[in-house]
Amino acid sequence: MRRSRTTRRYRGNYFYRDGQKLPLVKLPDAFALRLREGRLPAELRAWTREGERLPPVALEKAYGRQRVTTYRVRGAAAARDRAMDALRRDGRTQYCTHVYRRRRARAPDPLILTDEIVVQFKPDLTRGALRRLCRERGIVRVEPIPGLENGYLCRVTAQAGENALKVANRLYEAGLALAAEPNFLRRLARRGAALGPARRRGGRGRPGRGPVVPNDPLFPRQWHLHNTGRNGARAGADVRALAAWKVTTGSRRVTIAVIDDGFDLGHPDLRERGKVVAPYDFGEDDPDPSPGLGDAHGTACAGVATAVGGNRVGVTGIAPRCRLMPIRIPLDGLDEAAIARAFRWAAEHGAAVISNSWGPPDGTGFKEPLPLIVRAAIDRAVEKGRKGRGCIICFAAGNGDEPVDLDGYASYPKVLAVAATTDQDRRAWYSDYGRAISVAAPSSGGRNGIWTTDVRGRRGYNPQGDWTGEFGGTSAACPLVAGIAALVLSVNPWLTAAEVQQVLEATADKVDPRGGCYDARGHSPFYGYGRVNAARAVHEAEARRLRRP
C-alpha cells in the first residue's frame, strides 16, 4: 500500500501533545550533549576517541539544571552525524541527541531533546504490568506527577535503543498511554522589554498630597496608577490606584509569586524586612534567584506588582504591602518539567497569585499546546492552592498582534490572559487578541512606557539608573493585574480563584466602546471584559465579604 505524502513527511520527526500530532525537523548543524559527570567542556574541537578526530564543533549554549550543552557543527548534516556517533561511543557521554524545531515555523524555535518523557499510563494497568512495560521499553519512572493520575516523569535508558522522542511516540501509538510526550528543553519569550518610547526628559514632579499618595519621587510618572494627562497621556487612562489604596495597599498575608528570568532582591524598592518569601531558582536548583546577564525582565515585573511604596525611593507597585515570591526560570532555556516544578513550588509555599509574563515565542505561525506536565501543575495550583480556594494565575497574552489561541499557556481556560492598553485607553498595537482574553491593563504602545524597578547598575534596561520608564508589552500588564488580584484578596481572602476572576472582569471598564467589538456578554477580543479598575474591584470584594454569612 502506498503511503500518503503526509505520512512520509511526518515519519519519525513528530511528537504528540494535547492529542495533536506535531511535525518536527532536525537542525542540520546542531546537536545536544550531556555528560555522565564533570563539567561540560567549553569546546570540542580537539576531542578525540580511538584516534578519530571530530569535525570542528563550537559551543552554543549550556543549560544548568539539565547539564545539557548544545553545539553547532561546521559543515552539513553528515559532519553532525559523525560527531554524534563518536560522542555516543565515548564513555563520558550520558546521551547525545539531535536538536529540533517545529516544521514550517516562521521563526526558529529550537526544541532540545532530553532523556526524559512525561507519560500518563492507562488506568487499567496493574503495578506488575506497569513494571514489565517500563522494563521492556527501557524506561525508568523518576517521579510521579502530582495532579496527573497515573502520570510519571520517566527517564529513557540505553536499553530502549531509541531516543526519548521515538519512545514517547511508540508508547502513545501502541495505546499503552493516554499521553506521552518528550520533556523538551526550550526557549521561552519575554512578553515585553523596552517597548515604550524613548525616555523623556523633565522634572520628577511633586508628589501628591494626602495619606494614600505615595512619597516615592517617580510616582508622578507612573501614569498607569494615576494618570493626570502628563506627557501627552489621556487623563484617567489608569487603574484607579489612589481610590483603591483608600481601602487597602495590600496585606502581608497575601503573596504574589512572580515566575520570571531573575530578580535583583537587593534593589531598594524590593528590599524590605519580611517582603520576600520562598525565593528559588529552578535553573540552578538553589534558593538564589539572582538575574543572569541580560535578565532584567523579572525585576521589572516584580516592581510593577509589588514594589515597596512610601519609602521615598523610586516607584511603587500596585500592591506595595503584599509579599513577593521570586521564582527564577531561565527563559533562554529550561525543560518543561522544571517549569511545572516552579508552579508547584509557588502553590505549596503559599502564593495566592502567580504572575507569568512569558510564553512561547510570538510570530511562529503555529499553535503551541500546553505541555502535559505544566498543565497538571497549573490545575493543581488552581484547585488545591490557598488551602483549597485556588491560586489566581495570570499570563501575559503575548506581543505578536496575533490570536492568543496560538499560545497554549495564556489561552488555557484556568488562567487569566491579560492584554495591554496604552496611555490613551486604547488597545496596544502589539497585544494578542481573541476569546481567551480575560481583561486588559495599561502598558506601553502609546506615548509613555511603564516606570518600574530595574536591575541595579549597567546590566538593566537603564544603564544610567536603577529604575526604568521604558518597560512595557503585555509583560507589564500581567503583573499589574496580578497585583490588583492581590489587593482583592487582601480585602476578602475567602474568595476562590474563580470568584477573584469574576470580580476583576465584572468591575473592569469598557474602554473603546466603538472599536472594542464587545459582544452581548460584554466581552471584547481586544480588551476581554475591559481595562481593570482596581478601585471598583476592591470595593466589590469588600461588599462580597460583608455579604458573607
- Domain boundaries in the chain? 5-102, 116-186, 189-547
Count other Cβ atoms within 10 Å, centred on residue 127.
7
Please report which confidence band the pLDDT of residue 302 belongs to, taking 50, 70 and 90 as the band edges.
very high
What pLDDT shows up at residue 60?
57
Mean pLDDT in residue range 293-298? 92
- Lowest mean per-residue pLDDT among 96-105, 122-131, 203-212: 203-212
pLDDT at 139: 96
Whether residue 91 is predicted with pLDDT greater than 90 in this model: the reply is no
Q: Rounded distance, CA 231 to CA 233, Å?
A: 6
Mean pLDDT of the residues in the chain? 88
Helix (H) or strand (E) holding 304: helix 297-306
Tell me, what's the pLDDT at 12? Answer: 58
Helix (H) or strand (E) holding 501: helix 497-506
Where does the pLDDT of residue 83 fall: very low under 50, low under 70, confident under 90, or very high at 90 and above?
confident
Position 2 pLDDT exceeds 50: no
Q: Which three cell numbers stand for residue 526?
A: 481586544
Does the active-site annotation cover 490? no
Q: Is 281 left (phi over 0), alpha (psi -120 to 50) or beta?
A: beta
Rounded to an integer, the average pLDDT of 75-100 is: 82
Contact 392, 501 (CB under 8 A): yes
| Catalytically annotated residue among 260, 269, 423, 466 | 260
Catalytic residue among 251, 297, 438, 444: 297
Give the per-residue pLDDT at 240.
98
The backbone torsions φ and ψ at residue 321, rounded to the nearest 5 degrees and listed phi first, read: -90, -10
When pLDDT is averaged across residues 333-351 and rounded to a whole number, the result is 95
User: Is the pLDDT higher at 267 or at 114?
Assistant: 267
Judge whether residue 90 has pLDDT over 80: no
Q: What is the mean pLDDT of residues 44-66?
A: 52
Of 202-206, 216-220, 489-493, least confident by mean pLDDT is 202-206
The answer regarding whether domain 189-547 maps to CATH 3.40.50.200 reads yes
Backbone phi, psi, residue 440, to 5°: -120, 160
The pLDDT of residue 236 is 96
466 flagged as catalytic: no
Q: What is the pTM of this model?
A: 0.90
pLDDT in tens, 206-240: 333 334 789 999 999 999 999 999 999 999 999 99
Task: Find the mean pLDDT for residues 14-21.
Answer: 92
Helix (H) or strand (E) holding 78, with range, is helix 77-89
Q: Which residues contact 321 (CB under 8 A, 6 or more apart)?
A: 248, 249, 250, 251, 252, 309, 490
Taking domain 116-186, whether its CATH number is 1.10.10.10 is answered by no
Given the residues 355, 475, 490, 524, select the one marked as catalytic: 475
pLDDT of residue 199: 35
Residue 211: predicted pLDDT: 43
What is the C-alpha to C-alpha distance for residues 387 and 383, in angstroms, rounded to an integer?
9
pLDDT interval class at 95 (50, 70, 90): confident
pLDDT: which is higher, 65 or 46: 65
Mean pLDDT of 500-524: 97
Give the model confidence (pLDDT) of 303-341 as tens digits: 999 999 999 999 999 999 999 999 999 988 889 999 999
- Reported as a single tens digit per residue, the pLDDT across 412-425 is 999 999 999 999 99
Instruction: Establish whether 260 is a catalytic residue.
Output: yes
Rounded Cα distance, 74 and 264, in Å: 38
Rg for the chain, CA atoms, rounded: 24
